[in-house]
Amino acid sequence: MAVIEAAGLVKEFSRPAVLPGRLPRLRGLFSTKREITRAVSGVNFQVEPGELVGYLGPNGAGKSTTIKMLTGILTPTSGVCRVAGLEPSRDRARNARNIGVVFGQRTQLWYDLPLRDSFEVLGDLYNLDRTTYRDRVGLFTELLDLSDFLDTPVRSLSLGQRMRGDLVAAMLHAPSILFLDEPTVGLDVVAKARLTEFIAETNRTAGTTVVLTTHDMDDVERLCQRIIVIDSGTVLYDGDLSKLKERFMPYRFLVLTLAERSLRADIPFATEVDAAAVGAAVPYPDRTVVLRFDPREIATPALITQASQVYQVDELSIVDPRLTDVIAQLYDGVLT
């Protein structure tokens, strides 16, 4: 049975309309006219226990608003959401016991307290007995390598350290569901890798259900099998990441570095494309040929054989389309 459910979920925000003319803000104060923003517009999805789902979309798509409804911070305008059988906005306190939340842009730690003291306060709030508390903090300290900065006030932590602290704060009560809203935003590659590994491990070993919003496609590729993509408050795609690629960008690239410059040659079932299509910088642009092909039309070894007959090849590699490009096309509405 689904552990998270959104059915016809809608959230509208209303604010005083901006009126034309002089001092529009002041005039707005005395006007009864309202402007409505429909941030989430009839979203439906279900998440099964133990799934790790990427909730993606461009800026302003409605991701955070959805997460805020699922965590009980916002009340839906219409439709329903249920998390572990509860309606979050009606049952905030009980819902809070089942879930952990990290908003990457904001911390839930106390700025002036050392990390350790923040954990103590949360341990008390969650009524954890001393043994459980110590065991959990000990485990997280080891897994997330916190020992060097446990006694540092939160305000002095680096972003990566603070984020690790925030994850612990969200997980001290061992929730079965985690909502992570941009948990890796602004982190360097090392900090990001550590965090994504921890998220994957938590999902794998504890069976924690995770809903992750991110703009980082590396995170998505590393962590998510299933993605839900929204734009303008509605779901554009819900399914397997690999199927999205297959359906939308079924081709691959054969990147050839030639021994010397060579004239273009025609190879059946392959189209020569600009090197930019593969995303990475090519070391020898004037000796590089990039061929786009569909493996359903020509098998990769057959193409390599043909290309080697036509060109004098020094090096070759096979590159898959980048998720960023697939998603960008989705946002552009090509799939609809």
Ligand X SMILES: Nc1ncnc2c1ncn2[C@@H]1O[C@H](COP(=O)(O)OP(=O)(O)OP(=O)(O)O)[C@@H](O)[C@H]1O
**Which residues of the shown chain bind ligand X in the complex (CB under 6 A)?**
13, 15, 37, 39, 57, 59-65
Residue among 11 and 194 whose Cβ is closer to ligand X = 11
Helix (H, G, I), strand (E, B) or coil at 253: strand
State the minimum distance, in angstroms, from the CB of residue 16 to ligand X: 11
State the minimum distance, in angstroms, from the CB of residue 102 to ligand X: 14
Nearest to 157 by CA among 168, 167, 146: 146
State the minimum distance, in angstroms, from the CB of residue 198 to ligand X: 23
Nearest to 249 by CA among 232, 267, 273, 233: 273
DSSP 113: S
State the minimum distance, in angstroms, from the CB of residue 68 to ligand X: 8
CB-CB contact of 219 with 196 (8 Å)? yes
Q: Provide DSSP, 260-312.
A: S-------TTEEEE-GGGG-SPPS-GGGEEEEEE-TTTS-HHHHHHHHHHHS-
Amino acid symbol at 243: K
Whole-angstrom distance, CA of residue 166 vs CA of residue 108: 7
Handedness of CA 238, 241, 245, 246 (dihedral sign): negative
Residue among 172 and 229 whose Cβ is closer to ligand X = 229
Task: Calculate helix-pair angle for 159-171, 115-125, nearest 10 degrees.
Answer: 20
Residue among 37 and 127 whose Cβ is closer to ligand X = 37
Residue among 39 and 96 whose Cβ is closer to ligand X = 39
Residue among 60 and 138 whose Cβ is closer to ligand X = 60
Residue among 13 and 331 whose Cβ is closer to ligand X = 13
State the minimum distance, in angstroms, from the CB of residue 233 to ligand X: 7
Amino acid symbol at 219: D
State the minimum distance, in angstroms, from the CB of residue 54 to ligand X: 13
Whole-angstrom distance, CA of residue 59 vs CA of residue 68: 16
